[in-house]
Amino acid sequence: MPLRRPPVLVSCVGVVLAAVATSAAAPPLPLERVVLFTSGVGYFQHEGTVADDATVEMQFAADDVNDLLKSMVVLDRAGGPPTVSYASRDPVTKTLGTFAVNLTDNPSLGDLLGRLRGQRVELDAATPVAGTIVGVEQRRVEVGKDQAVEKQFLTVLTADGLRSIALDAVSRVKLVDPRLQGELEKALGVLALAADNEKKGVSIAFTGRGDRPVTVGYVRQSPIWKTSYRLLLDADTAVTKAVLQGWAIVENTTDSDWKNVRMSLVSGRPISFVMDLYQPLYVPRPLVEPELYASLRPQVYGQSMADGEKQFAQAGRRLNEQSNRGRDLARREMGKAAGPAAPAAMMADSTVIAGSIVDSVGEAGGVGEGGFAFGVAGAAQSLAQGSDLGELFRYEIEKPVTLERQRSAMLPIVGGEIEAERVAIYDERVLARHPLSGLRLKNTTDFQLMQGPVTVYDQRGGYSGDARIEDMAPGTERLLSYAVDLDVEVAPRTQGRPEEIVNVRIVKGTLFAARKLARAKFFDVKNSGKSAVKVLIEHPLESGWKLVKPEAPTEKARDRQRFAVTAEPGTPVTLEVAEEMPVEESHAITNLDDNAILFYSRAKATSPAVRDSLAEVVRRKREIEQIVRDRQVCEQELATIDQEQARIRGNMGAIDRGSDLFNQYVKKFTDQEKRIETLRGEIAGLVTKEQEARKSLDDYLLALDVK
């Protein structure tokens, strides 16, 4: 059995220096498939048939060439490797600088002739002149009384000698050298092409024999497609079947018409970027001076070789680990897609060999109804949750789409009945007095509804208002509001609740008190209409607060909770939302004064054991306070005696030592010294007693564990 030749896939565009001389021009490949994404890009696929060696010419806007170079894929299932060529975008100034005649800076005729010094020219002036250009000079010429102008004169070496000719008298200049004439024409051609940056040609050369199908696909920037819905309410009852119409708005901003193309609309977020691959890049090279003329340069000294080798070895180990991880991952992914032959597609440095990928693709997939099927699976990570970025889903337009260039269209994507319930939605942040007329939609269709605007129509009054929905998977529900319900009024009011101590416990000298914060909000609802209204009242969902009344909300959102009440005509109804928050605080008992301890001991939630322990703490603290007061009395008396002794010493120095007064001072001084000794002993005893009492209190507190 002959081996089937795998198709050849070219995944990037290369520059070819010369096209195949034997290839014939093929008709343009028609556009067959368009896939638009909500991330601002689109995938375009051309399909057709070529015969033998053929070249397909395609036109692209200059701004799209970078996307083309980054994403273009060419598939020839029965031919040889195709080649792609395009006009390079070298900077015009650099290209012009390569010609013998430099037109980079838009030179004047005088400047241009000055650059052609040494070239032979033929001039048409008052008398024809032929010769070699010597140069161009500027002269000041008198044109009247006290007036002069600047003129340029061309100096030419003729057979008769040097001649000077005013340039304003020259009507024609001919370059005698045909090579130089050709260079000038080429430079002007480059300038002409540079002025037209709108279109760029891309040639795809196919090689092979016979007629065969080929495919060309690429990604380019495109406007995001949008959705718009119409909702028709056809009944007055609270729960009804509504008619939903969904439209996709697409825009053809390309330069060609779309004729009978297969179209897919994808709500996804592929990572896409633009890289400048079209502009030639030149790497600056260093200027090396001959050693003979080079002066001594400042020296920079690096690390030691031993340290450098250590760092180099560490870097090598890290690189090998990363390379091994990348190689294993690529082998696993390629093994999933291409089977046992996939590991052969990896080089030693984890570089993918293009030829091996081509073979894998040929074995594992091809082009089907859904577009390209690649045989290499890429490892991808989730960027965000679906609720943040929208679900990934696709709309396949059943009938081929025809859309002229630079025109837009509305394509029907959803149509049918959907379940809807009439509600009024009240949020004090949105409108303090009235709720909003709304609907609870349930996606009973088989389609994923992409986010977008919704225009609501009601048979009772025609146009009712506009709304907006987020992405809705089949079977899910969403609320939407589209008008103000003036028949229903809501009056919110807040009622404060005192906080309450619910538990007191002592653990190792720390008092833990559990408090309960409470709050309540009332919503008075009044319906002035003719029929009952189901009102959904939204209330903030705050962390830490627990709902007490009602027992549970009707429904809960990410940061809101909703409560449903039915407002009958002429009968006010009140909704009470009561919440509690437990808060626990801790205090070191030694830092609490008697009043604070008394406050916690008198709380209703305080147990007898905790109350008795607090009473004992108060008793012990008061004993310590009494000891401290006794010590302070002794210290005060000791300070008074010190002051009295200072006075006595002063008086004794001024009187006779043999007098009776002196003897009285001596006796009093002696008695005071005895009292000082007594007081110092008492103070020392009180200090010791205070330390023992404090230690006893600390030991008592550390041993406490009561509730």
Q: Show Cβ contacts of residue 646 under 8 Å, excluding neighbours closer than 6 positions.
A: none
pLDDT value of residue 43: 93
pLDDT value of residue 8: 37
Residue 480 shares a structural domain with residue 504 = no
Residue 494 shares a structural domain with residue 578 = yes
- Is 389 domain-assigned? no
Count: domains in the chain:
5
| C-alpha pair distances (Å), 361 with each of 69, 350, 367 | 21, 19, 10
Residue 479 shares a structural domain with residue 499 = no
Q: Show Cβ contacts of residue 242 under 8 Å, excluding neighbours closer than 6 positions.
A: 231, 232, 233, 234, 417, 418, 419, 420, 439, 441
Residue 458 shares a structural domain with residue 523 = no
Percent of the chain at pLDDT above 90?
23
pLDDT value of residue 489: 93
Residue 185 φ/ψ region, left for φ over 0, alpha for ψ in the -120 to 50 degree band, beta for the rest: alpha
End-of-domain residue from the set 554, 588, 622: 588
pLDDT value of residue 338: 37
Q: Is the pLDDT of residue 73 over 70?
A: yes
pLDDT value of residue 168: 84
Distance between CA atoms of 450 and 300, rounded to whole angstroms?
Answer: 62
CA 113 to centroid of chain Cα atoms: 57
Residue 419 shares a structural domain with residue 475 = yes
Question: pLDDT (tens digit, 9 = 90+) per residue, 368-378?
Answer: 334 433 332 23
Question: pLDDT (tens digit, 9 = 90+) per residue, 129-164?
Answer: 899 999 889 888 887 777 888 888 889 999 888 888
For the whole prediction, is pTM greater than 0.75?
no
Average pLDDT of span 298-325? 56
pLDDT value of residue 1: 38
Q: Is the pLDDT of residue 352 over 50?
A: no
Q: Show Cβ contacts of residue 590 under 8 Å, excluding neighbours closer than 6 positions.
A: 509, 697, 698, 701
Distance between CA atoms of 686 and 583, rounded to whole angstroms?
Answer: 42
Distance between CA atoms of 98 and 356, rounded to whole angstroms?
Answer: 41
Give start and end residues of each alpha helix (H) in 160-201.
Answer: 178-195
Residue 330 shares a structural domain with residue 416 = no
Structure tokens at 234: 């056809």
Residue 493 shares a structural domain with residue 471 = no
* Residue 458 banded pLDDT, cuts 50, 70, 90: confident
Residue 574 shares a structural domain with residue 619 = no
Helix (H, G, I), strand (E, B) or coil at 554: coil
* Residue 316 banded pLDDT, cuts 50, 70, 90: low
Distance between CA atoms of 634 and 624, rounded to whole angstroms?
Answer: 16
Q: 578 is in which domain, residue-wise?
A: 487-588
- Is 20 domain-assigned? no
Question: pLDDT (tens digit, 9 = 90+) per residue, 5-35?
Answer: 333 333 333 333 233 334 455 668 999 999 9
Asked whether 411 and 402 are in contact (CB, 8 A), the reply is no
Residue 476 shares a structural domain with residue 502 = no
Question: pLDDT (tens digit, 9 = 90+) per residue, 524-580?
Answer: 999 998 889 999 999 998 888 999 999 899 988 888 899 999 999 989 999 999 999
Residue 612 shares a structural domain with residue 702 = yes
Give the sign of the dihedral formed by CA 652, CA 658, CA 663, CA 669. positive
pLDDT value of residue 656: 83
Question: pLDDT (tens digit, 9 = 90+) per residue, 168-222?
Answer: 888 888 888 888 888 888 878 777 666 555 667 788 999 999 999 999 999 998 9
Q: Which amino acid makes up residue 602?
A: R
Q: What share of the chain is helix, strand, coil (3-state, %, to 5)?
A: 30, 40, 35
The better pLDDT of the pair 607, 326 is held by 607
End-of-domain residue from the set 329, 354, 379: 354
Average pLDDT of span 89-111? 70
- Is 543 domain-assigned? yes
pLDDT value of residue 27: 67
Decide: residue 220, CB within 10 A, 0-12 exposed, 13-18 middle, 19+ buried. Answer: buried
- Own/partner pairs, 425-430, CB within 8 angstroms, 24+ separation: 425/479, 425/481, 425/535, 425/536, 425/538, 426/488, 426/490, 426/523, 426/525, 426/535, 426/536, 426/537, 426/538, 427/538, 427/560, 428/492, 428/538
Range in 178-192, 404-418, 429-443 the model is least confident about: 178-192
Q: Is the pLDDT of residue 325 over 70?
A: no
End-of-domain residue from the set 485, 502, 526: 485
Distance between CA atoms of 706 and 609, rounded to whole angstroms?
Answer: 6
Residue 169 shares a structural domain with residue 233 = no
Q: Is the pLDDT of residue 311 over 70?
A: no
DSSP state of 22: T
- Is 278 domain-assigned? no
Percent of the chain at pLDDT above 70?
76
The better pLDDT of the pair 523, 22 is held by 523
- Is 637 domain-assigned? yes
Q: Is the pLDDT of residue 324 over 90?
A: no
- Is 387 domain-assigned? no
Asked whether 29 and 214 are in contact (CB, 8 A), the reply is yes
Asked whether 508 and 705 are in contact (CB, 8 A), the reply is yes
Question: pLDDT (tens digit, 9 = 90+) per residue, 573-611?
Answer: 999 999 999 988 898 888 888 888 888 888 888 889 888
* Residue 95 banded pLDDT, cuts 50, 70, 90: low
Helix (H, G, I), strand (E, B) or coil at 139: strand
pLDDT value of residue 357: 26
Structure tokens at 479: 């609320």
Residue 501 shares a structural domain with residue 453 = no
- Is 416 domain-assigned? yes
DSSP state of 27: P
- Is 313 domain-assigned? yes
